[in-house]
Amino acid sequence: MPSGKVHDQITIAAAAACVPLWWNLTAAPRDLSAGVVLIGSLLFSGLLISPDLDLNSSIYKRWGPLRFLWWPYQKAVPHRSWMSHSYVFGPLLRTAYLLAVVYGVLRIGLWTIRAVFPLDRNALSRQWLHALLHLPREHPAHFYMLVLGLLLGAGLHCIADTVWSAAKRRF
Ligand SMILES: [Zn+2]
């Protein structure tokens, strides 16, 4: 498979290419923030939650002191399996995993804060869940751009891996 650096370059080039593409394919008046969500989620998908998180890779190390959050994922998911290197399931699984981890960390954080400030942890959790579940209805353009960016970031990685393996077999 290509090196992490090559995958990074593909992701950055794709994000740059998405700017004029998004501009030309979107009808005026354009919501610039939706375009920013597309570029941001593509970069996030390719540079931070790439399929190679299933390995002790440069992406995994990029998480620095927080990389322990991905350790269970890395151990549970076999490298280049359909669970990580697939076009839809892989990015969905990593997004769901990250959301679950962030939720757990926030719950623990609130539990600690509650020792000092009185707050309703469950009410806050309900608010977060409500915001997440209502995102597609309340901000459809942003939601679709977010999903598209996440899928594109992972998809380009899988395509690059497939092309690289095929070329290696051939030559
Ligand atoms: Zn890969």
Give the pLDDT mean for 50-79: 94
CA dist., res. 152 & res. 44, Å (int): 11
Predicted local distance difference test score (pLDDT) of residue 69:
94
Kindly report, residue by residue over 127-170, the tens digit of the pLDDT: 988 999 999 999 999 999 999 999 999 999 999 999 998 988 88
What residue ranges do the domains of the chain occupy?
Answer: 4-170
Q: Per residue in 79-122, pLDDT tens?
A: 999 999 999 999 999 999 999 999 999 888 888 888 888 888 88
The pLDDT of residue 152 is: 97
Whole-number pLDDT of residue 146 = 96
Query: How many residues would you count in the chain?
Result: 171
Q: Ligand 1 centroid vs 84 CA: distance in angstroms?
A: 8
| Cα 7 to middle of ligand 1, angstroms | 8
Cα(77) to centroid(ligand 1), Å: 13
Contacts of 77 (CB under 8 A, 6+ apart): 54, 83, 84, 93
CA of 107 to the centre of ligand 1 (A): 32
Mean pLDDT of 8-32: 93
Give the distance (Å) from ligand 1 centre to CA of residue 155.
10
pLDDT of residue 110: 86
> Ligand 1 center to residue 129 CA distance, Å?
32
- Does a cis peptide bond (omega within 30 degrees of 0) precede residue 29? yes
Amino acid at site 107: R
Inter-residue contact 106 to 129 (CB < 8 Å):
no
Which value, to the nearest 10 degrees, does the dihedral of the CA atoms of residues 65, 44, 144, 97 take? -30
Name residue 64's amino acid: G
